[in-house]
């Protein structure tokens, strides 16, 4: 066997293996590096959601300053974003901050609106804040057609109902998927006991003229 040929083949094999090993190392490093970045980003998304859930304003503010954080990340509970989540628990300061953040999406298709969630939880101050934001869909229905006003009537928080009635943007006659409108249900005495006093409340508001008469 020609020693020089053997030497050339051996060197070529070593060079090839060296290049291949370098490629494998580069691929392995890149994959794990980007996987690590993705996990870091997801971890921060989760941290923002958790901070919003807990009403930790300083933590929310710190995390929101990171451009890698998804401000509309869907959390593990009820499909809430940080805004939806903090509205659910009535954390007014966090709600106010998130509403001012340019990357926060207020209304998400197919999900209950932040206003609906705040009305459901009877968080009066949050409801008032959301009503003042023109981006908020104040009559946005859920999948079953319920509006923020209808759920406020169902829950029975008079101050929240009064706030909604005072807004000219509220449609008090918007029916759900079963064609039930909140005022007609309450006026007919078919609502929950919490709504029994609402007819008297409605008489004090300009929206009374919107209530359609039943035949």
Q: What is the pLDDT of residues 111-160, one digit of tens each?
A: 899 999 999 999 999 999 999 999 999 999 999 999 999 898 888 788 99
Domains of the chain, by residue range, sit at 39-105, 108-215
pTM: 0.71
Cα of first residue to Cα of last residue in the chain, in angstroms, is 109
- Name the band, by pLDDT with cuts 50, 70 and 90, for residue 30: very low
Q: Classify residue 208 by its DSSP letter.
A: G
Give the pLDDT confidence score for residue 49 in this predicted structure. Answer: 95
Give the pLDDT confidence score for residue 2 in this predicted structure. Answer: 52
Domain at 39-105, CATH homologous superfamily: Ankyrin repeat-containing domain (1.25.40.20)
CB 101 within 8 A of CB 64: yes
Q: Is-same-fold flag (39-105; 108-215)?
A: yes
CA–CA separation, 69 vs 127, rounded Å?
26
Q: Counting Cβ atoms within 10 Å, is residue 205 exposed (0-12), middle (13-18) or buried (19+)?
A: middle
Say which residues have a Cβ less than 8 Å from residue 41's Cβ, sequence separation at least 6. Answer: 68, 69, 70
Which range has highest mean pLDDT (9-13, 27-31, 69-73)?
69-73
CB 184 within 8 A of CB 158: no
Between 70 and 17, residue with greater pLDDT: 70
Give the pLDDT confidence score for residue 119 in this predicted structure. Answer: 95
Q: What is the pLDDT of residues 53-111, one digit of tens each?
A: 999 999 999 999 999 999 999 987 778 999 999 999 999 999 999 999 999 999 887 78
CA–CA separation, 76 vs 175, rounded Å?
31
CA–CA separation, 33 vs 194, rounded Å?
56
With a cut of 90, say whether residue 8 has pLDDT above it. Answer: no
Q: Which helix (H) or strand (E) is 28 found in, with range?
A: helix 3-54
- Name the band, by pLDDT with cuts 50, 70 and 90, for residue 36: very low
- Name the band, by pLDDT with cuts 50, 70 and 90, for residue 200: low
Percent of the chain clearing pLDDT 70 (strictly above): 66
Structural fold of domain 108-215: 1.25.40
With a cut of 70, say whether residue 39 has pLDDT above it. Answer: no
Q: What is the mean pLDDT of residues 13-36?
A: 46
Counting every residue written for the chain, the total comes to 215
């Amino acid at each position: 066997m020609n020693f020089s040929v053997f030497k050339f083949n051996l060197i070529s094999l070593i060079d090839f293996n060296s290049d291949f090993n370098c490629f494998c190392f580069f691929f392995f490093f890149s994959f794990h590096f980007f996987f690590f970045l993705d996990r870091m980003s997801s971890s921060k998304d989760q941290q923002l959601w958790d901070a919003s859930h807990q009403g930790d304003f300083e933590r929310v503010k710190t995390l929101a300053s990171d451009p890698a954080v998804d401000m509309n990340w869907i959390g593990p509970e009820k499909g809430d974003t940080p805004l939806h989540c903090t509205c659910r628990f009535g954390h007014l300061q966090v709600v106010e901050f998130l509403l001012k953040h340019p990357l926060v999406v207020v209304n998400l298709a197919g999900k209950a609106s932040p206003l609906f969630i705040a009305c459901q939880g009877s968080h009066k101050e949050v409801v008032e804040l959301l009503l003042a934001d023109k981006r908020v869909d104040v009559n946005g229905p859920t999948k079953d057609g319920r509006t923020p006003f209808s759920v406020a009537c169902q829950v029975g928080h008079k101050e929240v109902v009064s706030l909604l009635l005072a807004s000219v943007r509220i449609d008090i006659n918007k029916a759900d998927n079963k064609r039930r409108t909140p005022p007609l249900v309450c006026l007919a005495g078919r609502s929950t006991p919490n709504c029994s006093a609402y007819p008297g409340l409605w008489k004090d508001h300009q929206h009374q003229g919107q209530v359609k008469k039943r035949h």
